[in-house]
């Protein structure tokens, strides 16, 4: 099972990558744990920035229930910040 995690612009800038492919996470909670682990020394920075971003699975915000959301092959996980525009 392969899923893709896309970071916010700020996260990408600090952590040096825009997206992370993952092979076998089953829930969003596992994604968060694995992503944090991959960033090693920058784990704290990841936590800080991930904490103020919402999480969407295939575009649908999972927000408060994000830890328990189950994933399927091909899912796209995105960190999203609020914005306004015209």
Binding site residues, another protein, CB under 8 A: 6, 8-10, 12-13, 18-19, 51-56, 58-61, 63-64, 66, 72, 75-76, 78-86
Residue 56 near residue 62 (C-beta atoms within 8 A)? yes
| Distance in angstroms (rounded) separating the CA atoms of residues 24 and 64 | 23
- Of 24 and 47, the one with the shorter C-beta distance to another protein is 47
Q: Tell me how far, at minimum, the Cβ of 59 lies from another protein, in Å.
A: 2
The conformational region for residue 63 under phi > 0 = left, psi -120 to 50 = alpha, else beta, is: left
Q: Tell me how far, at minimum, the Cβ of 45 lies from another protein, in Å.
A: 17
């Amino acid at each position: 099972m392969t899923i893709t995690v896309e970071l916010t612009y700020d996260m990408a800038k600090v952590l040096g990558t825009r997206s992370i492919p993952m092979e076998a996470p089953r829930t969003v909670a596992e994604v968060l744990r694995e992503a944090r682990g991959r960033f090693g020394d920058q784990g704290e920075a990841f936590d800080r920035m991930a904490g103020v971003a919402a999480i969407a699975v295939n575009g649908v915000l999972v927000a408060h229930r994000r830890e328990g959301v189950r994933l399927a092959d091909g899912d796209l996980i995105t960190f999203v910040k609020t914005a306004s525009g015209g």
